[in-house]
């Protein structure tokens, strides 16, 4: 069972629900046994596996590039999101994701041109190198910790626990697929081919017989809400039996994982600890209400985690 791997989890309903579920699906000959090939788990990333406040990590990465563009071209300073970045309008910037989780994408659409153009024409390898360099060196401004040290220790332990019980875990995130891939193996033990996320349209170009793959300024898919379920099926080809998320955008994924035949489990992480973490409820209200209705275990950062961040 390997429950000793969950060392940062306090005894309580959430931890016991995980252990009991694993016991049921791994008991050979038991009524709810699931063959290892079908033991599929999916995890959101921002706010579930690593901290997403005061802003998602990739947003910081993109905004730094937009700031460089606004500094170089004064004309851009009259358009969003360059205007907000150059003018340090934190209220406007901070409300983009909050309003998205509330179902209002007005600001997200307004910001899309800038966000999508930030790394246009970058070859995929060059973008990966820039993302990795940022992730290895940048810090969370509110917590004053390196971004990679804001990964949640209990969730990383949960990934290891599932792997020890012959589960295959995937990241299914609204964050950028190519932004996350350089770090997921070392940070979570999840290889890049098991990262499903938002992506831009890629374009193959050839010059002097040498082929390259580059980022364009067109969005291929924003991997949030119902799109998470579509991408799970298109990339994995199976219904998960375990899912973990933290926001309204994860509801379709949590429902999809728990509405198939046989045993299943959905977890909802709630951020209620403003001492060790950053507490917030905005963008998760519907998910919290649905968890209570469906009986999904709710993971309280304050009550269920003895330790919050990785060392």
Instruction: Provide long-range contacts, Cβ within 8 A and 24+ apart, for 279-283.
Output: 280/53, 282/98, 282/101, 282/102, 283/97, 283/98, 283/100, 283/101, 283/102, 283/247, 283/248, 283/249
pLDDT (average), residues 59-88: 92
pLDDT range class, residue 243, cuts 50, 70, 90: very high
Instruction: Provide long-range contacts, Cβ within 8 A and 24+ apart, for 116-123.
Output: 116/200, 116/217, 116/218, 116/219, 117/217, 118/62, 118/65, 118/66, 118/69, 119/65, 119/215, 120/215, 120/216, 120/217, 121/214, 121/215, 121/216, 122/214, 122/215, 123/212, 123/213, 123/214
pTM attached to this predicted model: 0.94
pLDDT higher than 70, residue 31: yes
pLDDT higher than 90, residue 95: no
pLDDT of residue 94: 77
pLDDT higher than 90, residue 111: no
pLDDT range class, residue 199, cuts 50, 70, 90: very high
pLDDT of residue 258: 98
pLDDT higher than 90, residue 308: yes
pLDDT of residue 1: 67
């Amino acid at each position: 069972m390997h429950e000793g791997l969950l060392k940062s989890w306090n005894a309580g309903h959430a931890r016991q629900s995980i252990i009991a579920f694993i016991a049921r699906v791994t008991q050979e000959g038991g009524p709810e046994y699931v063959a290892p090939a079908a033991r599929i788990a999916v995890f959101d990333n921002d706010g579930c596996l690593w901290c997403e406040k005061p802003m998602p990590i990739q947003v910081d990465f993109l905004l730094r590039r937009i700031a460089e563009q606004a500094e170089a071209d004064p004309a851009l300073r009259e358009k969003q999101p360059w205007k907000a970045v150059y003018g340090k309008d934190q209220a406007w910037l901070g409300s983009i994701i909050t309003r998205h989780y509330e179902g209002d994408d007005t600001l997200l659409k307004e910001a899309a041109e800038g966000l999508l153009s930030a790394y246009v024409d970058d070859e995929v390898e060059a973008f990966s190198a820039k993302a990795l360099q940022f992730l290895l060196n940048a810090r969370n401004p509110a917590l004053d910790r390196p971004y990679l040290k804001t990964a949640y220790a209990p969730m990383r332990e949960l990934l290891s626990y599932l792997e020890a019980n012959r589960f295959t875990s995937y990241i299914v995130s609204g964050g950028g697929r190519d932004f996350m891939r350089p770090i997921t193996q070392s940070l979570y033990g999840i290889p890049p081919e098991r990262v499903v996320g938002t992506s831009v349209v890629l374009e193959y170009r050839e010059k002097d017989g040498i082929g390259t793959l580059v980022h364009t300024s067109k969005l291929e898919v924003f991997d949030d809400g119902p799109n998470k379920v579509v991408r799970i099926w298109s990339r994995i080809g199976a219904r998960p039996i375990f899912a973990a998320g933290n926001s309204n955008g994860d509801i379709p994924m949590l429902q999809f994982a728990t509405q198939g035949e046989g045993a299943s489990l959905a977890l909802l992480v709630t951020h209620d600890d403003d001492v060790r973490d950053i507490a917030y409820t905005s963008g998760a209200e519907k998910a919290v209400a649905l968890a209570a209705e469906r009986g999904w275990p709710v993971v309280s950062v304050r009550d269920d985690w003895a330790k919050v961040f990785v060392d």
